[in-house]
Amino acid sequence: MTHANQTVSYVHDLIGETTLANYPNGVQAQQAFSERNQLLFKTYLKGTSPLITLKYGFNQLGQRIVGEQIDSTGSTLHRYGYNSRRELVASSVDGPKNQHSGMAYSLDQNDNLINDNGTPFTSNAADQLTKAGSTSLGYNGAGQATSVGQQAMTFAYNDQIKAITGPGLNAQYLYDGAASGSKRPSTGPSRSSCGTAVTSPRNTRPTAPFAPTTSWALAPRSTVSGSSTSPTSRVQHWASLTTMAT
């Protein structure tokens, strides 16, 4: 293939997978696939010198269990572990200079997170997260989160959020007669200062390699067509526990 006097050439295997690519800057990419068409190996070379090499391994179910990156800094190895339900429950990274980080998760029969690297999580019979570490959560009969730690949420009869209060926080919300979700001037912090909300209080596990810390934030959540920045007249779950990923 040639464009603007620059040519890239490709070589394919019998089933059409690209196994070799030659680029105008002299870099060559070589790669190999398993019989399931999973990428097992990829390397970039400049002449005979390798620039970066990627290697992957999979279990019999097709889940990636190992990945290695080799470059000028050394080798970085990623490992992944799964339970009998094929859920990710462990991951680790080992870097070039004896660097190591790892995560481990435990899940109940309903896929609720119950432990994350020693931090306990508790859910009720409705699969609502009721405690994360030392932070407790409460809900009303409609399933709306009414408290997260020291913060409290108040709802109107039509499920609209009315207020979020807590230490150093007093956010009040008003709506127009058409219930369009327009926000009137109010006291308290702006929505952006409250953090990022999760739309459902259902307890879900994080995705490796990120993990929740002990820092939690609260913010209203809106779902208006064409906009995600204004409160709406229909708010399903305005308050949920969120994690600040590290």
For residue 128, pLDDT beyond 60: yes
**Count of CB atoms within 10 A of residue 6's CB?**
10
**Model confidence over 93-105: pLDDT tens digits?**
999 988 999 999 9
Return d(Cα 228, Cα 235) in angstroms, integer.
12
| Between 208 and 48, the higher pLDDT residue | 48
| Between 98 and 43, the higher pLDDT residue | 43
pLDDT band with cut points at 50, 70 and 90 for residue 48: confident
pLDDT for 8: 94
Torsion of CA 39, 18, 73, 245, to 10 degrees: -50
pLDDT for 179: 59
For residue 201, pLDDT beyond 60: no
Residues of the chain with CATH 2.40.128: 2-105
pLDDT for 180: 57
Pair 142, 153: CB distance under 8 Å: no
Comparing C-alpha atoms, which of 153, 141, 156, 118 is closest to residue 241?
A: 153
Mean pLDDT in residue range 34-44: 95
Query: Mean pLDDT of all residues in the chain?
Result: 79
Pair 75, 93: CB distance under 8 Å: no
Segment of 3-17, 48-62, 225-239 carrying the highest mean pLDDT: 48-62
pLDDT for 150: 95
What is the token pair recorded at 39? 């990428």
What is the token pair recorded at 190? 């702006």
Pair 236, 199: CB distance under 8 Å: yes
Return d(Cα 18, Cα 39) in angstroms, integer.
11
For residue 241, pLDDT beyond 70: no
Return d(Cα 70, Cα 63) in angstroms, integer.
21
Task: Identify any residues that bridge with 7 across adjacent strands, giving them in sequence order.
Answer: 2
**Count of CB atoms within 10 A of residue 228's CB?**
10
What is the token pair recorded at 105? 């998760």
Domain 2-105, CATH among 2.40.128, 2.60.40, 3.30.70, 2.60.98: 2.40.128
| Between 27 and 201, the higher pLDDT residue | 27
What is the token pair recorded at 103? 């995560």
**Which region among 15-29, 105-119, 167-181, 196-210 has the lowest average model confidence (pLDDT)?**
196-210
pLDDT for 3: 79
Return d(Cα 214, Cα 32) in angstroms, integer.
43
Decide the pairing of beta strands 49-58 and 64-71: antiparallel
pLDDT band with cut points at 50, 70 and 90 for residue 20: very high
Mean pLDDT in residue range 162-171: 95
What is the token pair recorded at 91? 């991951």
Mean pLDDT in residue range 1-5: 79
pLDDT for 1: 79
Task: Identify any residues that bridge with 66 across adjacent strands, giving them in sequence order.
Answer: 57, 79
**Model confidence over 183-196: pLDDT tens digits?**
544 444 433 333 33
Distance of CA 109 to the CA centre of its chain: 21
pLDDT for 56: 97
Mean pLDDT in residue range 34-52: 94
